Every structure is written in structure tokens, then in C-alpha cells.
Amino acid sequence: MIKAIDIHVHGHDDEAIKAMGARNAQMGKYFGKELAPVSLDELADRYREKEMMAVIVNSTDVTSSGIPPVPNDHIADAVRRNPDVFIGFGVVDPWQGRVAVDEAKRCAEELGLRGLGELNPGRQAFYPNDPRFYPLWESASDHGLVVLFHGGMMGSGAGTPGGMGFKLKYTRPIPYLDDVAADFPQLKIIAAHPSWPWQEESLAVARHKSNVYIDLSGWAPKYFPEQLVHYADTILQDRVLFGSDWPVIDPDRWLSEFAELGIRESSRRKILLENACALFGINL
Ligand SMILES: [Zn+2]
């Protein structure tokens, strides 16, 4: 019996580490730990043991770094081997235009992936509401792909002079995500993380547009601001999702700290499991 779905898990195998380039050492330093590689099958075993499912996200910044991403086929293969625990997301670089649109279609139709992301507007240097990217959101919407956007401050580049050149302005929820959510009402969007320092904007977008979800990944729950906890327990209880952002935060740590928050049992079940089941049409 599945107890929870971790909506935001990064691969950290040899392929993923290679695709991170200089960010692997930088993130390791910033978060105070550099993790050894873990194969996707080993990761699947860990989630199976915890009786949890995991959404494996992919990531790219090929346009700014020149480093090719982990092929989406690599994620899809891992999902095929572990369909009981994995849901897979593919990734595209929006700047690749037609190539990105075609890859989104291939992710859905050929690879059986369920979403796109984690797209990181900061690292990929794009405003999601730029009309040049609208064919991509339209394709995602048409194919039922959930799109997961990183929001707010990011670990990538953090603590280095110039933040490795990444600009935070792209990661602001209003107007960039809000516009996309308004113009593609059928598109399901996940705003990842509490979007600090724009948490209120993220809450407002999710409150206003029912196609927007917030994942609580990348932050230790013991540091969640009171307002976030309150919204997650009340008016946004149907649209907030458990995510760890592993390897940044270990899901066990996330869950034990989350258990300490004053959230009603009914909201807790929704956040940990039921909202993700509804989003992906999973019938347990
Ligand atoms: Zn992120």
C-alpha cells in the first residue's frame, strides 16, 4: 500500500552528476554534503521500502552551460523497470523552439512520461510567459503533461560570486507563472518550493488558479513560515504536494519534520498522497 508520493526527486546517478557539470561540487558545498552516485534502480528500491512513490524529474541548462542533459529515455527506462514506484518527467530547453515542442510530444507519446521538469527559469534564463514559449506550453497542455517550474531562490549557484551567473528575476511567480496559468487553463502547473522570497505570490497564484499546485520541496518543514502551513491546512489543502527535492533534502527528514507541524490529519493525507493521486489519475 502506497503511503505517500514524493513529487520532486532528482536522479543522482553517474549520468545526472555528469549533466550537473560544475554545479555538483558547488551544490555539495552549499548544502554541506556531496553525495555519492545512487543508481535509479537503487533509488527505486529505497522508495519501495518506504512504501512510497517518487516523481523522478530531469533537468537541463544546455543552452547556458553547453552540457547536454540526461536523456529523457534514461528516465523513461528507469520508470519502465520500476512502474510500481516511479513516475517520470522529461525535460526540454524552451530555447530550443521546435525541437523542444517535438521532444515534449515524444516524452508523452513514446516515452510514457507524465510531465516536464524541473524547468528552472533562473538557470535556463527564460521568462515562462514569453510568447515565444507558448507553443511548448500548448503542446504540454494538449498532451496532458504536468509542467513543474522551479520557483524562487535556488541552490544552483548559491554561495558563489555572481551565483554562477544565474538571475533570480526569472523565478518570480507573478507575472511569469501566473500568465501561463491564465493562458493555459487546462495545463497543470506545479510551482516548486515555497518560492522564497515570493511565497505570498505563489500562494496567491495557487489560490486564484485551480490548475496551479505548490510543492513543498527543497525546504526543511521545520522552517516553513506559519502562513504557508496555514494555507496548506486550509484553503490550499487540495493543491499542496509533498516533495523532498532529494538529494537536497532526504524524504525521511522531510516527513519527520512535517509530522511535527500542526496540520489536520485530513489535510496531511491530501498533501502526502491524495492530491498527487488526483493530479496523475492514480487509483490506489
Ligand atoms: Zn528547484
Tell me how far the alpha carbon of residue 112 lies from the centroid of ligand 1, in angstroms.
23
213-247 b/e (C-beta count within 10 Å ≥ 16 → b): bbbbbbbebeebeeebbebbbeebbebbbbbbbbb
Residue type at position 171: T
Q: What are phi and psi of 9, to 5 degrees?
A: -130, 125
Residue type at position 89: F
Grade residue 26 by pLDDT with cuts at 50, 70 and 90: confident
Tell me how far the alpha carbon of residue 177 lies from the centroid of ligand 1, in angstroms.
14
Q: Is the pLDDT of residue 200 over 90?
A: yes
For 129, other C-beta atoms within 10 Å of its C-beta total 18
In this prediction, residue 126 carries a pLDDT of 97
Q: What is the 3-state secondary structure (H, E, C) of 5-64?
A: EEEEEECECHHHHHHHCCHHHHHHHHHCCCCCCECHHHHHHHHHHCCEEEEEECCCCHHH
Tell me how far the alpha carbon of residue 162 lies from the centroid of ligand 1, in angstroms.
19
- In 3D space, the residue among 140, 214, 131 whose CA is nearest the CA of residue 175 turns out to be 131
In this prediction, residue 65 carries a pLDDT of 85
Residue 226 has which C-alpha cell? 506559519
Q: Is the pLDDT of residue 22 over 90?
A: no
% of the chain exceeding 90 in pLDDT: 90
* CA distance to 26, 58, 99, 233, per residue, from 92 (Å): 23, 9, 8, 34
Grade residue 33 by pLDDT with cuts at 50, 70 and 90: confident
Tell me how far the alpha carbon of residue 193 lies from the centroid of ligand 1, in angstroms.
7
* Cis status of the peptide bond prior to 37, with omega within 30 of 0: no
Q: Is the pLDDT of residue 34 over 80?
A: no
Model confidence pLDDT, tens digit, residues 120-162? 999 999 999 999 999 999 999 999 999 999 999 998 899 999 9
Tell me how far the alpha carbon of residue 163 lies from the centroid of ligand 1, in angstroms.
15
CA-CA-CA-CA dihedral for 7, 12, 14, 20, to nearest 10:
90
Model confidence pLDDT, tens digit, residues 55-106? 999 999 888 889 999 999 999 999 999 999 999 999 999 999 999 999 999 9
Model confidence pLDDT, tens digit, residues 242-259? 999 999 999 999 999 999
Report residues near ion ligand 1: CB below 5 Å: 150, 192
Q: How far is CA 43 from the centre of its chain?
A: 17
Grade residue 195 by pLDDT with cuts at 50, 70 and 90: very high
Compute the average pLDDT of residues 38-50. Answer: 98
Tell me how far the alpha carbon of residue 157 lies from the centroid of ligand 1, in angstroms.
12
Mean pLDDT of all residues belonging to the chain: 96
Tell me how far the alpha carbon of residue 116 lies from the centroid of ligand 1, in angstroms.
13
Tell me how far the alpha carbon of residue 40 lies from the centroid of ligand 1, in angstroms.
19
Residue 134 has which C-alpha cell? 507558448
Tell me how far the alpha carbon of residue 9 lies from the centroid of ligand 1, in angstroms.
10
Tell me how far the alpha carbon of residue 26 lies from the centroid of ligand 1, in angstroms.
15
β-sheet bridge partners, residue 9: 56, 246
Residue 36 has which C-alpha cell? 555519492
Whole-number Å distance between alpha carbons of 225 and 195 = 12
Residue type at position 131: P
Q: Which CATH class for the 4-280 domain?
A: alpha beta
pTM for the whole structure: 0.96
Q: Is the pLDDT of residue 262 over 80?
A: yes
All structural domains of the chain with their residue ranges: 4-280
- In 3D space, the residue among 250, 266, 259 whose CA is nearest the CA of residue 224 turns out to be 259
Q: What are phi and psi of 65, to 5 degrees?
A: -100, -20
Tell me how far the alpha carbon of residue 245 lies from the centroid of ligand 1, in angstroms.
7
